[in-house]
């Protein structure tokens, strides 16, 4: 069973847009770290959180980036304190900090723990040095192992590692080496992402110049299936297309995204959803700070979601979960019988064995079906 979550409680997402170096494939909202700008940014974040205080219940805080672990622990502590003052944060709230291996020391991790962080999500990406170099990462595999050991030493018992698959020049054998590297460390949770090459990524040029290529798509499918099989065999349970966890160690924050939950968003480029409203915060760091200082809205875009849009979103995100779409819950929430409405389009996928349909109970992708999630979801559009 996936961890039970408090469906009514909010998540608090906090974006930290600073990085020590920019990776060749990165398409996130981030820039190079600058201590003075970061100090002004943290002040703005605190103000933003306090301005939106309403004491609503919250049970997760997630520092995403960027590289949040570039911020000193005192700053992370100040932001957590602002969250505690402004929302009713559960005693057992999950408080995650995204971390890159090169920023980790025992003292620093101990200080994050003392500040209230209780979950670390570390961007390992690969356990092969040449792959890390091609991606423009500044750490190597030895540094991941060291950082993981230091994080444990600092007392963290809830660590997630990210790995990336389908990297330039990566073979299935190479990929399985990274899976084994992860298993040796034994994190509580792992996220497996497929490398996406966006149009202007410097990595595209690097690949063209060096003559690197990605394995054929069939091999990528094999990497996915074999990687997850090995994780299964090691006792992890896949609970989402890209995520596995030990029992009860699923990311409670991310589950809100996939289970029609609600979350607040603080910091530049962050997205929030609450009371049927979806908003996006302005993406510029300086723009965000100036708006907070001037007391003007930081929203670049706000939309009221119609029931149809919410339904569509729940179908898209819910199908990503291994537990599948809860058909009764959707019927109760939106008054829609999913099979009545979409059954004709979905039936061929059921027949092909990539989608399971338990009438009135659930609709669930098989693992092979997860590779076809986009095709299956196109039925909902
Ligand atoms: S560390 Fe992450 S956010 Fe920063 S540049 Fe690299 S991929 Fe992008």
* Interatomic CA distance for residues 63 and 193, integer angstroms: 19
Return the ligand 1 atom nearest residue 26 CA: 8
Burial (CB < 10 A; 0-12, 13-18, 19+), residue 211, is exposed
Pick out the chain residues at pLDDT < 70. Answer: 1-5
Please tell me the residue having the least CA distance from ligand 1 atom 3.
Answer: 66
* Interatomic CA distance for residues 133 and 139, integer angstroms: 8
The residue whose CB lies within 8 Å of the most ligand 1 atoms, and thus the one to mutate among 15, 17, 18, 30, is: 30
* Interatomic CA distance for residues 130 and 168, integer angstroms: 10
Closest CA to 187 of 100, 96, 249: 249
Element (H, E) at 374: helix 373-377
The residue whose CB lies within 8 Å of the most ligand 1 atoms, and thus the one to mutate among 16, 18, 19, is: 19
What pLDDT is stored for residue 214 in this prediction?
96
| Ligand 1, pocket residues at CB < 6 Å | 19, 22-23, 26, 28, 30, 65-67, 100, 123
What pLDDT is stored for residue 2 in this prediction?
56
pTM score, whole prediction: 0.96
What pLDDT is stored for residue 7 in this prediction?
73
The residue whose CB lies within 8 Å of the most ligand 1 atoms, and thus the one to mutate among 24, 65, 161, is: 65
Q: Give the list of residues 6+ apart from residue 157 with CB closer than 8 angstroms, or none.
A: 188
Burial profile 247-272: b = 16 or more Cβ within 10 angstroms, e = fewer:
eebbbbbbbbbbbbbbbbbbbbbbeb
Q: Give the list of residues 6+ apart from residue 43 with CB closer than 8 angstroms, or none.
A: none
Please tell me the residue having the least CA distance from ligand 1 atom 8.
Answer: 26
Token representation of residue 366: 């098989």
Q: Sheet with 355-358: list strands edge to edge.
A: 325-326, 362-365, 355-358
């Amino acid at each position: 069973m996936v961890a039970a979550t408090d469906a009514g409680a909010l998540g608090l997402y906090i974006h930290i847009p600073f990085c020590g170096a920019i990776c060749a494939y990165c398409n996130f909202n981030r820039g190079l770290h600058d201590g003075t700008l970061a100090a002004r940014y943290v002040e703005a974040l605190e103000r933003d959180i306090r301005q939106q205080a309403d004491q609503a219940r919250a049970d997760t805080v997630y520092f995403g980036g960027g590289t949040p672990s570039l911020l000193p622990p005192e700053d992370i502590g100040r932001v957590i304190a602002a969250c505690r003052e402004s929302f009713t944060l559960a005693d057992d709230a999950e408080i995650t900090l995204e971390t890159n291996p090169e920023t980790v020391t025992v003292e620093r991790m101990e200080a994050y723990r003392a500040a209230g962080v209780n979950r670390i999500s570390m961007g390992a990406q690969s356990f092969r040095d040449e792959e890390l170099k091609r991606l423009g990462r500044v750490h190597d595999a030895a540094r991941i192992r060291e950082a993981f050991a230091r994080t444990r030493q600092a007392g963290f018992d809830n660590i997630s590692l990210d790995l990336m698959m389908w990297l330039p020049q990566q073979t299935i054998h190479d990929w399985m080496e990274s899976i084994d590297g992860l298993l040796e460390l034994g994190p509580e949770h792992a996220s497996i992402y497929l490398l996406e090459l966006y149009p202007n990524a410097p990595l595209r040029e690097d690949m063209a110049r060096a003559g690197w290529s990605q394995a054929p798509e069939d091999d990528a499918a094999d990497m996915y299936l074999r990687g997850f099989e090995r994780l299964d065999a090691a006792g992890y349970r896949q609970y989402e297309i890209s995520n596995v966890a030990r029992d009860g160690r699923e990311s409670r924050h991310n589950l809100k995204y996939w289970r029609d939950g609600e979350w607040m968003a603080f910091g530049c480029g962050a997205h929030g959803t609450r009371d049927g409203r979806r908003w996006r915060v302005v993406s510029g760091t300086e723009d965000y700070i100036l708006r907070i200082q001037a007391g003007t809205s930081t929203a670049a875009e706000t939309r009221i979601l119609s029931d149809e849009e919410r339904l569509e979103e729940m179908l898209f995100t819910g199908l990503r979960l291994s537990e599948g779409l809860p058909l009764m819950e959707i019927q109760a929430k939106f008054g829609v019988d999913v099979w009545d409405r979409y059954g004709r389009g979905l039936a061929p996928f059921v027949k092909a064995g990539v989608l399971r349909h338990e009438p009135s109970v659930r609709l669930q992708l098989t693992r092979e079906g997860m590779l076809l999630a986009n095709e299956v979801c196109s039925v909902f559009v």
